[in-house]
Structure 1
Amino acid sequence: MRSALFTFILIVSVLSGIYSQSFDYRKYNYEWKSVKPDPMVLDSIYSKEDAVIMDEKCIYNITGNLVQNYSTVNAIGNYFYIDESSQGKSPIVQKYVRIKFLTQKGIDKFSTFTLPESFDPQHDMLIVPHAKRISLRRPRGEFQCVRYFAARIIKKDGRIKNALLHESTDKEIQPRDGRDITFFSWNFQIGGLEPGDELEIDYSYEGSYTYSPTSRLFFSGEMPKQNFQLTFRQRQKDTYFIFDHNVSNPADTFEMAGSNMRYRDVIYKEKNLKGGISECGSRPARELPYISFYLHNLDFGAHQANAAVIQYPLPYPWWFKLSPFLSYQYDDLNFKLKWKDKTTSAMNKFVEEERSKVKDTTTAAIISGIHHTIVESFDYDDDINYYEGNDTKLEKLGKNVENKLLRQISRHHFYEQIFLRLDREYYLSIMADKRTNSIDPGKYEHLGLQSWMYSVPYKDQFLFFYPKASRFGYEANEFPFYYENVMTVLVPQHLPAENKSDFMPSVEFKFVRTPSSNHEDNNRQTTAIISASLDSLNIRISGKLKLSGQFSTLTRGYYLYQSMDTTINPVYYKSIKDLADPGDQVQISSEKLSVLFPFPATFAFNFKKEKFIQKAEDGIYTFGFEGWFNNFKDEEFSSENRRLDYYPDFKSEDIHRFLMQFDHPVKLLEAENMVDTFSNSYGYYIIKIEQKDDYKLLFETSLVVRAEMVPASKAADIQSIFDAITSLNQRKFKVKKI
């Protein structure tokens, strides 16, 4: 489970001019390349769009450079070349965009531009909690970020009109190492637009910041693009390796002279690019064109015979990049473990006690037992005070182990100390989140966000262990869906001590897939008996919540400790637990928890609701179940103009069954013995309503998600099931007292 690295964040949004960040960009004397731009024809394939980028030219200067402030050097901006940087920050981005607005909806949605912008939005926003993704932007800019911003409107009759700019800024303060670090976003809202207008904008910025920056540049954005050009600019003396993905046309390469250095430009051109890069449930890397890149340090390549000098660089292989993470045995482990310091003695005692609990002497059994103790018994400290600079105390691993406390800064150190005492073969495992990235065994590429786990051999497979990052932790071989069935690389950690000095160690880096699950493993069942009184109009609910597979992995920590995975859709945490009256609480208790796949967990709950039933006309009563049938429904999903394929988080079965028992005989009106079934490429949804006898009514839904991917062309299938879930939750039922 992830949590944001910086958690104390202050967001302020006010009119620009109040902040102390630089507004030098307003002094920039921008002049358009031509007084009146040439007409452009919009392709008929875009006739039903709300807005289309007819032309975009972007220069992504990865280098940056140290020269005077741009406002004293440049007088006129042009569309193809700016190389001055105010403080040498990278990258420098310059972009020219010409947009055709076809509808008012397009104007409302796409007439505000925020700088700096993201070239890989799903990666950049992944670490930001869902609840904060409106207010927290990634990337942010530093004090002097925007270099200039110019905009003008081309009316339908060809007249040129100055655009009305409404500027605002967002400010983010991140306490770090005892001081506040401030970042900004600049918002430019264009006024005076009408359907049929075209908008030209030209802007440049530099010094953008985000946690674990991406090394990918996607060509697509939110709007479709008719013509697109990307120039990836680098210093001629630098060596970047660039990898094309889903790109239609090969790049052209040019060399050119800047004002103070020579550059190499790699230019890509594309036509008719899809929009919708941020659509929920999409995997842009699987279908949209992009490039990935990394800077080569000229430390690996082809050598001349009997010479140490690299003749020319070659792409990094995985083994070269992973070799620094290899770990070796101690020359004299017994001597190391006899040290008298607190950490050594506390770790020796902890591991010895845990080993004595396990009869099986295999590495897998011992570390599984130790890992379970940590998951179940250790409290967790996220070390916010440490990262903010307010806690300067030492790590104190030994003392914390005695007190059963795991600190965030000790997560990996703790496990390394455990494996040291086991003195057995084990591995570090690199995981890429499949929602945004993947590992290709045949080609090294920079991953951006990644997680480190540990693994040990088990029969002909491997067991994986993820050091917990909250009070709740995953059991052995337990993964959230985004680490299931992904390629991972194993880095040996128990190599012979005599090999430490090998410059190029002969080591096998294993590439294996993590375990997977299916819809039968991933099951949730919510069952309850509802005792209903027509006299008091109140109800009392008693039931059970059974979780297995991903439903258990993602949510049982919520029911045990209020722990939530902030990177997943928060709808997973909507449950019957939320239905108690204000000021009251659902009483929930765990009845069964298993450490073995598919990790079944059972919780019992009970609560009451007053005035749940409304008395209508004589003998008629109404009630509804809003929020009760909380089958998964992505609130952000819309099938309208869906552009990218939709990937459900995981295959699953989700059942809600409520038996309502009345204190008087009743007859269900309008929906007696109703069964509705929705079946399509996404899965199927069944609604069953049945009068069992004069006192009992059964309300039941079953949602089975059976698709790994639903093509964008069938987005309406998903929408129909989501709409059915919404409709049932909004429905009112009537009974007549008989």
Structure 2
Amino acid sequence: MRTYFIKTSLILIILFHYFCGKTQEISDSLFNVIINNSDIIILNEKTTVNYTGRKADFMFVNISKEITYQINSENGINKIKRISIPEMFDPTFIQHSSTAQKTLRLFDKIIIDSIYTSVNSTIKPEIINNYTLLKKNNLCIKDDFKYGNIVGYYIDIKDITVGSVVKIKYSLNFPFDENWKQLLSTRIFFNSKFPKIKYELNWLFPKKLEVDTFFYKFKPEIDTLNNFIALKWKLNNLAGCIEEPGSYPYIDLPWFTFSPKPNVFLNYYYNTNEVDYAPLWYFLSYRRVKFFLNAKLDAELGLKTSNQLAFNSLAEKFIESKEKDSTGFYSLCNFQNWIVNEIKYNNDNDFYKELVKESMDKSGQDLKNNELKDHNRFDVYAHMISSLGLDYYASYPVDKRYGEISNHYFTTIYDCDMLMVALLKNNTFTFLYPLSDNSRYYFEELPFYFENIKTQVIPASYYGGYKEDIKKQYMSINTPSSKLTDNKRRTNSVVNVKIDENVFEFTTKVDLMGQYSTLTRNVYKHLPSDSSINSLYLEKAYNINKNVKINKEVITQSSIQYPYISVVNLEYSTNNCISKKDSVITINLNSWFKHIYYPTYTNNYRFTSYYSDFMGTDAYVYLIKFDKPIQLILSGAESESHNEFGDYVYKTEQVDEYQIKITSYLSIKAAKVNASNISLVNNIYQSVSNDKLLTLKIK
């Protein structure tokens, strides 16, 4: 206990005396700066969550909330006019899955007991219950692999103006047994995207209900009320910093997790004759991998079913000679890269809608016909890895931007993609990310948010064997990481300019390596892209203006192993880039450079550390050739910044009377920058974001 509070105190001091409590608050002067620059302030928020019952079939979750907003700007009106009921417990969560499997995290079978709103402003003194309740059906895939609907509730609040004080109060409940999968690992943050002057949270559950809790940075007051235990937090002056660009809120901000354990999770252990609760992650994982053991047995027993024969036939295609591939590494590499390059992914909408029925598993035949279906794509990987003579495991990652897998936080097992871990013949592990419309990665390739993280690894054997005891522990394996020199993008372009015609013709080569290849190459292939990353990654080199005409767009994969080098060759043209005044012409170059940056510099304060997506370099070189002699007058936003976080250089030089060369170079050298040093990040990103103009004089 002593160690806990000593560590907490040190962290609080470092973070500007930020976190609230009886002795730690933001100073009034700092908090006034925050609220004066905020579109919305939460004047008061009180949330009560009450679990009733002990048996899963009869448990209910009751949520009541009272919240008061002050609207300070037009932007604030847009942010508050529609509110989901209830709001998400964890606003940082990002679901990584195929589009078919992706759904809003909503509670099912909600019963709304009451809703009350009021708007108080100088124009209309008080408007009571001035809202519209909306019901929206949200498609989701149920446990029977069929589409179903979860009803989401929203309220639209009317007649809000700048200066309005909006009060919302509601009470609702829903059954535990209809929502248990997303309630086994609930995480609650105290901060939100809006600053809070007063905040209160009460979390109640029956004394006889077994629960697991974990408190990060702040422990609650604990009371006993009749037959209930109440966890209570009362906090003041909470900054609205949960969405600070480049932050990892789970590292810097306080939160807690709650995992209820109704009696249905009790398990009899044959070896010890004890009755104890099985780990909750075990049940979530079972839903995902219960068919994996069949794949292993089918291969080991040498079954001759048409499905298994199809897998065996494909495996022979990928298996390398023992002299070349003693571990199975290259066989796996051949398989995954064939999947990425040749296979058509089927989103299975007709299957989920029950428009087609499959009486037996035909995944092997489907794969042999170059098709991978969404509903059994993980099973296909299990079958293929087994047919290649290797063992495999389910591996559950958590996007490092919002969490880390652990015994108390394992919510991603419920509805996020899993990785496949193969055990090679030299007893080393390797990762495969199964194909979907949103994940088209080569062998051992992972996006940055799954790099260098701990994953929960569960063998298929955990779910097999007569009277086999449920395992209480899982294995942990770290994913690979990358270095600064592994991640590069270099864009070289020759631009021929016809001044009088106002026409620009580009011949451009984009070299992509490491994470730049992983995140951006599919944009040039016109394939679905990752919606969870900075949208600047999705900008193509030729996205200069709306007049661009693309004449050539060819991408070649120079390497399908790390660091996955891709080369993009482009030819495109555009017009109307020049503005003229007398003999002086100006060219706006701002959209020519696609450096990735975050607007950290928009505030004068920072409460969380900044984490880079990855370390790497990004360089642009434009050689502009004019058809008339020109003279460089003003190069625009020439700048050079160097510090511990990164380097940025923007330079313009006249090569001869017809040619100008422009170079822009960005290097990110630090994975993390503490909040107190955020000026390092601001200096680099402010320079990157500055407008870039090229001003010339025609001779």
> What is the TM-score with the length of structure 1 in the denominator?
0.77
Task: State the partner residue of 2:336.
Answer: 371
In the alignment, does 2:612 pair up with 1:645? no
Cα deviation for residue 564 of structure 1 reads 0.9
Task: State the partner residue of 1:259.
Answer: none
Identity between Structure 1 and Structure 2 (%): 22
Distance 2:300 2:91 in 1: 51
Q: Any residues of structure 2 matched to 1:418-457 within 5 Å, and which?
A: 418-440=384-406, 445-447=410-412, 449-457=415-423
Distance 1:126 1:189 in 2: 32
1:82-119 Cα offsets, whole Å, 9 max, x none, are xxxxx989532112235566788767755764422112
In the alignment, does 2:664 pair up with 1:701? yes
Cα deviation for residue 306 of structure 1 reads 11
Cα deviation for residue 486 of structure 1 reads 0.3
Cα deviation for residue 538 of structure 1 reads 1.3
In structure 2, relative to structure 1, the CA distance for the partners of 1:705 and 1:278 (3 Å cut) is: same
- 1:682 touches 1:718 (CA, 8 Å); kept in 2? yes
Q: 1:56 aligns with which of 6, 29, 45?
A: 45
Cα deviation for residue 655 of structure 1 reads 0.8
In structure 2, relative to structure 1, the CA distance for the partners of 1:586 and 1:493 (3 Å cut) is: farther
| Rg larger for | 1
Distance 2:368 2:659 in 1: 55
In structure 2, relative to structure 1, the CA distance for the partners of 1:90 and 1:281 (3 Å cut) is: farther
Cα deviation for residue 509 of structure 1 reads 4.2
Task: State the partner residue of 1:523.
Answer: 488
In the alignment, does 2:512 pair up with 1:544? no
Q: 1:265 aligns with which of 223, 230, 237?
A: 230
Task: State the partner residue of 2:314.
Answer: 350
Answer with 640-649 or 545-554: which moved more.
640-649
In the alignment, does 2:132 pair up with 1:167? yes
Distance 2:644 2:155 in 1: 40
Q: Any residues of structure 2 matched to 1:28-67 within 5 Å, and which?
A: 45-48=30-33, 49-50=35-36, 52-63=41-52
- 1:463 touches 1:477 (CA, 8 Å); kept in 2? yes
Q: 1:405 aligns with which of 363, 371, 394?
A: 371
In the alignment, does 2:154 pair up with 1:186? yes
SS state at 1:566 partner: coil
Answer with 387-396 or 587-596: which moved more.
387-396
Q: 1:690 aligns with which of 643, 647, 653?
A: 653
Distance 1:345 1:118 in 2: 47
- 2:585 touches 2:696 (CA, 8 Å); kept in 1? yes
- 1:283 touches 1:435 (CA, 8 Å); kept in 2? yes
Task: State the partner residue of 1:417.
Answer: 383
Distance 2:672 2:74 in 1: 33
Task: State the partner residue of 2:90.
Answer: 120
Distance 1:503 1:629 in 2: 59
Higher helix share: 2
Counterpart of 1:695 in structure 2: which amino acid?
Answer: Y
Cα deviation for residue 431 of structure 1 reads 1.2
Distance 1:138 1:505 in 2: 29
Distance 1:570 1:528 in 2: 23
Q: Any residues of structure 2 matched to 1:321-720 within 5 Å, and which?
A: 336-339=301-304, 341-355=305-319, 359-393=324-358, 396-440=362-406, 445-447=410-412, 449-457=415-423, 461-470=428-437, 473-493=440-460, 500-501=465-466, 503-504=468-469, 509-579=474-544, 582=547, 584-617=549-582, 619-634=583-598, 638-639=602-603, 642-671=606-635, 675-680=638-643, 682-715=645-678, 717-720=680-683
1:299-358 Cα offsets, whole Å, 9 max, x none, are 788999998454xx678497898799696699986784342x431221121111221578
User: Unaligned stretches of 5+ in structure 2?
Assistant: 1-26
Distance 1:655 1:544 in 2: 12
- 1:317 touches 1:444 (CA, 8 Å); kept in 2? no
Distance 1:472 1:330 in 2: 23
- 1:347 touches 1:398 (CA, 8 Å); kept in 2? yes
Distance 1:108 1:471 in 2: 30
1:171-197 Cα offsets, whole Å, 9 max, x none, are 3453868877363332253757775x8
Distance 1:179 1:657 in 2: 50
Distance 1:401 1:690 in 2: 55
Cα deviation for residue 478 of structure 1 reads 1.0
Cα deviation for residue 692 of structure 1 reads 1.2
Q: What's the C-alpha RMSD, in Å, of the aligned pairs?
A: 4.2
Task: State the partner residue of 2:22.
Answer: none
Task: State the partner residue of 1:147.
Answer: 114
Task: State the partner residue of 1:735.
Answer: 696
Distance 1:343 1:96 in 2: 57
Counterpart of 1:92 in structure 2: which amino acid?
Answer: N
Aligned length: 652
Cα deviation for residue 165 of structure 1 reads 2.7
> What is the TM-score with the length of structure 2 in the denominator?
0.81
User: Unaligned stretches of 5+ in structure 1?
Assistant: 1-41, 67-86, 257-261
